[in-house]
């Protein structure tokens, strides 16, 4: 069964030091290697910061484009993993191992499977 | 049909419901379907047993009937998942018949309830959903009974159960027993559900008490089932002991008029000695073999109370010691408050009041009526009725249930009288 692991965290207000960046990136690379080696990884990416987000809606057929994410929240979506695992417990295990769980929150959402 | 046959169906069904359902869930992998076919089997039993007599192995009979119905329903669905489920059910049947041929003639069906416990109490479900699922599917209460237990409309409770089952199905919360390594993180959620069911029997009130299922009995029944399923888990032993040792005081907790009686004023001859003896034996095993958990420690404290003939001869220093261990194991402001009350019994009301004032200043328990009630009682003992009355008023602002409100109103009236004389 497929689950989307959504990675939410607060965006840093001040730029982190090079050592901090190196240490954090090492954790992310380690997790990324592990989830790919386990054969459950379908996709995964980091997103550009929320200041780059653009929201689009159709209002009475008219396209309305606004700057920024759809909701202003303290923790913003920063990336995701799409995994294929047997059940929620395994999905939660991967989410808990992800550095995103330590630096913010992981939201685990099952993918809705359409019956053909 | 005869009333006796209906009663025996009812009795068998209630006793076997959780086991039947748990086995069906393991076979068909779907709580809704398991529930539907278990209910169907029950309906068939109600029709047939009064005519044909109750079968020798009623649980196996119900399971066979439910399984046939499940296969019928699954065959009609024609989906790939349903076909897989049929294969699984048939394989399970072959397996159980193979085992059944060698088994004793007594009714031996497996017990899959532990899996169902861990699913119903999964941390991915909201706490109130866990309690509702456990009462419905493991204790075997009807949706209407679960609703009455929580003084909610039946439609609200039905909706809560439907949502929870949908999450189990759609998020694929598994039916499985956690590994030994996971147990320490998963078991507390299960124990907490049983404990909440028990405390709810005290806390919630109003409505017609006679119509409410007895949640204390249900909690004890659930704790006994867990204890049978995982006999070596010491925190389960501790929880069962705690429930028995507190429940032993049930008959003394309210007077003839239904008013609340405090531990210190209870007629201890009305305490249930059989429950106390069973609880004490269990406490010993819960405390033996390594650091005790929070339920074992609370049970030990309850046992010290239950062993004392009066409030004066209670071993209060021992209770303070146990609270010291408890606050190191599972620190919480409520534990601090209870410890402060025990300290007041050992070192006097001044010492207890100083601790409670510290807690009040921290503010965590400001909306907890028992903090203000305990403060009021110590101020009473210190001969400061004006301040005691203020504390009781604050307690009355935040108290939720009727018997406690009535009790606090009496305390307030007494303090006000003392203040004006």
Q: For B182-210, what is each residue's pLDDT tens digit?
A: 998 899 999 999 999 998 887 655 444 55
* pLDDT (0 to 100) of residue B208: 46
Interface test with B, best of A3, A6, A87, A114 (most B CBs within 10 A): A87
Nearest to B61, CA basis, from B16, B2, B122, B116: B16
How sure is the predictor about A35, in pLDDT bands with cuts at 50, 70 and 90?
very high
| pTM of the model as a whole | 0.87
Mean pLDDT of A87-112: 96
Contact B174 A1 (CB under 8 A): no
Neighbours of B183 (CB within 10 A): 16
> Any chain A CB within 8 A of the CB of B77?
no
**Contact: A92, B124; criterion CB under 8 Å:** yes
pLDDT of amino acid A97: 97
Instruction: Give rounded-to-5 percent helix, strand, coil for chain B.
Output: 75, 0, 25
CB contact under 8 A, B124 and A1: no
The residue of chain B with its CA nearest to that of A109 is B171
CB contacts, 8 Å: A112 with chain B: 170
CA B421 – CA B408 distance, rounded (Å)? 20
Among candidate residues B153, B158, B120, the one with its CA nearest the CA of residue B139: B120
Smallest CA–CA distance from B178 into chain A, residue: A89
Residue of A nearest to B81 (CA): A115
A89 and B171 within 8 Å at the Cβ level: the answer is no
Cα gap A55→B46, rounded to integer Å: 60
pLDDT at B211: 55
Contacts A87 to B, Cβ<8 Å: 172-174
Angle at B384 between CA B378 and CA B390, to 5 degrees: 80
Query: Does pLDDT of B78 surpass 80?
Result: no
> Is there a contact between B174 and A86 if contact means CB atoms under 8 Å apart?
yes
- ipTM, two decimals, is 0.85
Tell me the average pLDDT of chain B: 88
In this prediction, residue B90 has a pLDDT band, given cuts at 50, 70 and 90, of confident
Rounded to 10 degrees, the C-alpha dihedral B121/B159/B30/B145 comes to 70
The reply to whether B24 touches chain A by the CB within 8 Å rule is no
Helices (H), B29-176: 31-52, 58-77, 80-102, 113-120, 127-137, 143-149, 154-170
Out of A92, A108, A110, name the one closest to residue B170 (CB): A110
Q: What is the pLDDT of residue B2?
A: 55
For the segment B225-252, the average pLDDT, to the nearest whole number, is 95
pLDDT at res. A99? 96
Q: Which of A30-34, B8-12, B13-17, B252-256 has the lowest mean pLDDT?
A: B8-12
**Does residue B171 belong to the interface with chain A, where contact is any CB pair within 8 Å?**
yes
CA distance B98 to chain A (A): 29
> Residue B258: which pLDDT band, with cuts at 50, 70 and 90?
confident
User: pLDDT at position B83, please?
Assistant: 78
A32 Cβ neighbours under 8 A, 6+ residues apart? A44
Q: For chains A and B, what is the number of CB pairs under 8 angstroms?
A: 22
Band (pLDDT 50/70/90 cuts) for residue B97 is: low
DSSP 8-class letter at B200: H
pLDDT classification of B28: cutoffs 50, 70, 90? confident
Q: Which residues of B touch A108 (CB under 8 A)?
A: 171
Asked if B173 has any chain A CB less than 8 Å from its own CB, the reply is: yes
Note whether B172 contacts A88, CB cutoff 8 Å. yes
- How far lies B180's CA from each of A18, B177, B223, B241, in Å? 41, 9, 19, 23
Residues in chain B: 421
Question: Does the distance separating the beta carbons of B173 and A87 come in below 8 Å?
Answer: yes
* Cβ separation A110–B79 shorter than 8 A: no
Per-residue confidence (pLDDT) for residue B363, from 0 to 100:
87
CA B27 vs CA A58, B99, B138, B172: distances in Å: 47, 16, 17, 15
Of A99-103, B77-81, B249-253, B258-262, give the lowest mean pLDDT range. Answer: B77-81
- Using CA coordinates, name the residue in chain A closest to B186: A89
pLDDT at B40: 92
pLDDT, residue B46, reads 87
Q: Which two tokens stand for residue B305?
A: 């109370």
pLDDT at B65 over 90: yes
Average pLDDT over residues A28-49: 96
Which residues of chain B are within 8 Å of residue A107 when distances are taken between CB atoms?
A: none
Provide the residue count of chain A: 116
DSSP code, position B209: G
pLDDT single digits (tens) B380-400: 999 999 999 999 999 999 887
CB atoms B173 and A92 under 8 Å: no
User: How far are the Cα atoms of A90, B279, B297, B335, B339 from residue B241, in angstroms, in the given order?
Assistant: 34, 4, 10, 19, 20
CA dist B297 and B319 (Å) reads 10
Q: How far apart are CA A78 and CA A49, in angstroms?
A: 7
Of B79, B124, B172, the CB nearest to A1: B172
Residue B302 has pLDDT above 60, yes or no: yes
Count the Cβ atoms, other than its own, within 10 Å of residue B387. Answer: 17
Specify whether the CB–CB gap between A40 and A92 falls below 8 A.
no
What band does B98 get if pLDDT is binned at 50, 70 and 90?
low
CB contacts, 8 Å: B79 with chain A: 115
- Please give the DSSP secondary-structure letter assigned to residue A52: G
Nearby residues of B331 by Cβ (< 8 Å), 6 or more positions away: none
Task: Specify the residue for token string 């025990």.
Answer: B342
Q: Residue B107: its pLDDT value, please? A: 41
Tell me the pLDDT tens digit for each residue of B354-367. Answer: 999 999 999 889 88
Q: Give the confidence band of B59 by pLDDT, cuts at 50, 70, 90.
A: confident
CB contact (8 A) between residue B173 and residue A115: no
Q: Give B100's pLDDT tier (boundaries 50, 70, 90).
A: low
């Amino acid at each position: 069964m497929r689950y989307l692991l959504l990675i939410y965290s607060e965006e840093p207000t001040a730029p982190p030091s090079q050592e901090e960046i190196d240490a954090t990136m090492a954790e992310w690379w380690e997790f990324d290697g592990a989830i790919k080696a386990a054969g459950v990884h379908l996709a995964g990416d980091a997103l550009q910061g929320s200041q780059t987000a653009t929201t689009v809606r159709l209002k009475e057929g008219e396209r309305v484009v606004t700057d920024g994410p759809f909701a202003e929240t303290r923790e913003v979506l920063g990336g995701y993993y799409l995994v294929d695992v047997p059940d929620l417990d395994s999905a939660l295990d991967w989410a808990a191992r992800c550095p995103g769980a330590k630096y913010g929150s992981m939201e685990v959402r099952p993918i809705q499977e359409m019956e053909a | 049909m005869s009333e006796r046959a209906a009663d025996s169906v009812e009795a068998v069904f209630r006793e076997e419901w959780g086991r039947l359902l748990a086995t069906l869930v393991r076979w068909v992998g779907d709580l809704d379907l398991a529930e539907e076919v278990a209910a169907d089997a029950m309906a068939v039993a109600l029709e047939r047993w009064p005519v044909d007599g109750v079968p020798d192995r009623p649980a196996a009979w119900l399971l066979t009937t439910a399984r046939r119905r499940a296969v019928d329903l699954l065959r009609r669905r024609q989906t790939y998942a349903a076909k897989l489920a049929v294969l699984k059910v048939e394989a399970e049947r072959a397996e159980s018949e193979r085992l059944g041929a060698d088994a004793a003639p007594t009714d031996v069906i497996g017990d899959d309830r532990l899996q169902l416990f861990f699913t119903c109490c999964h941390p991915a479900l909201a706490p109130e959903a866990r309690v509702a699922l456990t009462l419905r599917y493991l204790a075997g209460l009807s949706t209407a009974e679960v609703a009455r237990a929580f003084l909610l409309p039946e439609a609200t409770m039905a909706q809560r159960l439907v949502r929870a089952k949908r999450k189990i199905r759609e998020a694929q919360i598994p039916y499985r027993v956690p590994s030994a390594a996971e147990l320490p993180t998963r078991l507390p959620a299960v124990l907490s559900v049983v404990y909440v069911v028990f405390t709810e029997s005290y806390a919630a009130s109003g409505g017609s008490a006679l119509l409410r299922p007895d949640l204390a009995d249900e909690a004890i029944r659930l704790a006994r089932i867990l204890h049978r399923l995982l006999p070596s888990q010491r925190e389960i032993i501790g929880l069962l002991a705690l429930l028995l040792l507190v429940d032993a005081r049930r008959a003394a907790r309210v007077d003839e008029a239904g008013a609340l009686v405090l531990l210190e004023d209870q007629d201890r001859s009305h305490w249930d000695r059989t429950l106390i003896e069973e609880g004490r034996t269990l406490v010993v095993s819960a405390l033996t073999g390594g650091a005790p958990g929070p339920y074992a420690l609370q049970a030990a404290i309850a046992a010290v109370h239950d062993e004392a003939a009066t409030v004066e001869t209670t071993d209060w220093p021992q209770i303070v010691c146990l609270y010291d261990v408890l606050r190191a194991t599972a620190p919480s402001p409520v534990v601090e408050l209870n410890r402060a009350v025990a300290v007041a019994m050992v070192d006097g009301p001044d010492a207890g009041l100083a601790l409670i004032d510290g807690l009040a200043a921290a503010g965590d328990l400001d909306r907890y009526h028992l903090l203000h009630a305990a403060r009021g009682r110590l101020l009473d003992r210190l001969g400061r009725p004006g301040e005691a009355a203020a504390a009781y008023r604050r307690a009355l602002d935040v108290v939720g249930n009727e018997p406690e409100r009535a009790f606090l109103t009496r305390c307030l009236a007494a303090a006000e009288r003392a203040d004006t004389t």
